[in-house]
Amino acid sequence: MSDASFSSGGFPARRMRRLRQNATLREMLATVRLDRRDLIAPMFVRAGTGARWPIAALPRQEQISPDVAAETAKRWRDLGLRAVLLFGIPEKKDAVGSGAWDAAGPVCQAALRIKRAVPDMLVIADVCLCEYTDHGHCGPIYTRSDGVQDVDNDAALALLCQAALAYAQAGADVIAPSDMMDGRIGAIRAALDAAQFTHVPILSYAVKFASCLYGPFREAAGSCPQFGDRRTYQMDPRALGQVRPEVALDIAEGADLVMVKPAGAYLDVIATVRAACQLPVVAYHVSGEYAMIVAAAAAGCFEEKPAVMELIGGIKRAGADLIITYFAERLAGWLG
Ligand code: PBG
Ligand code: ZN
């Protein structure tokens, strides 16, 4: 260390523990602070009225109908939460995922109702097709010239644009594409601009790894791939070299905020992205990370509250400006 304060004096003149003796001073020196305004709460919406369906894989989370989504948003707003991230569960699925851009579908209906009931709740709409396709992939399937079935990247773009436009028209404040198709940010930006949604920002799932930690989400959203996996489009957790290009491309194409997902095993990636770009960085603490903590706390491994504060706090310390977490409601209560 070149800093003189680190090299000058050693024990007994320098006692770092002196900074830890007074609880008030400890509180003042806690410079990495979680704040309710940093949190984004995921919401699973499904057609119906006055309905809630528990999600077995995600304790305390539920699928809710659009009217309940509006009530929930109101409750969360009263708790100090500022943003929700909407995922839709359609009544019918097909090969192209046409439910994704249905103006009468649950995401559009929830966006409309939330904005009407709680105008200052930020509504972020996840854009992807996997909840809406009968095969569970994030884009339509085609057979490549070598006979292999794959997701048709360029055909997916037009469909993602339709979904993004439907959500913007329904009042979503932010559009968040999570599909990992190449070129989607540019395509969606152009589509939004052409429809006079130049003011609607894009939160890009820029660095999204193919992770086993999405398991509970896929049960919650009914979006399990029916064959194969997502490794031809989501990133390989071992491929550190792809992080910067993915972020650079999305920024060049017009992303306004960039996301890293999952969060806990990727703190180094969050720090890298934080250092590499000037834009807000969002981290997604995903369903499997949530389920692990809830299960470990239930098994008596640790108390849930301090564990969540430490683990979500670590994501903040790594450099995330905003954190998407299924603990948002609990954290809002704890943070006061
Ligand atoms: C859809 C999507 C997924 C998640 C967010 N958007 C699942 C996936 O890619 O299979 C995962 C979120 C979580 O696990 O909490 N593309
Ligand atoms: Zn998807």
Give tens-digit pLDDT for 122-162.
999 999 999 999 999 999 999 999 999 999 999 999 999 99
Q: Whose CA is nearest to atom 9 of ligand 1?
A: 214
Atom of ligand 1 nearest to the CA of 126: 6
Mutate to test the pocket of ligand 1, among 128, 132, 133, 289 (most ligand atoms within 8 A of CB): 128
The answer to whether the CB of 217 is under 6 A from ligand 1 is: yes
DSSP for 91-132, written as a single string:
S--BSS-GGGG-TTSHHHHHHHHHHHH-TTSEEEEEE-STTT
Please tell me the predicted confidence (pLDDT) of residue 313: 98
Please tell me the predicted confidence (pLDDT) of residue 259: 98
Please tell me the predicted confidence (pLDDT) of residue 56: 96
68: left (phi over 0), alpha (psi -120 to 50) or beta: alpha
Atom of ligand 1 nearest to the CA of 208: 9
Q: Which ligand is nearest to the CA of 42?
A: 1
Instruction: Write the single-letter amino acid at 332.
Output: A
CATH architecture of 32-335: Alpha-Beta Barrel (3.20)
Q: How far is the CA of 217 from the centre of ligand 1 (A)?
A: 6
Please tell me the predicted confidence (pLDDT) of residue 1: 46
DSSP for 56-92, written as a single string:
TTSTT-EEE-HHHHHHHHHHHHHTT--EEEEEEE-S-
> Cα Rg for the chain, rounded, in angstroms?
21
**Which regions in the chain score pLDDT beneath 70?**
1-8
Which residues are identified as catalytic? 208, 261
The answer to whether the CB of 180 is under 6 A from ligand 1 is: no
DSSP secondary structure letter of residue 36: G
The answer to whether the CB of 285 is under 6 A from ligand 1 is: no
Please tell me the predicted confidence (pLDDT) of residue 6: 56
The answer to whether the CB of 287 is under 6 A from ligand 1 is: yes
User: Whole-model pTM?
Assistant: 0.97
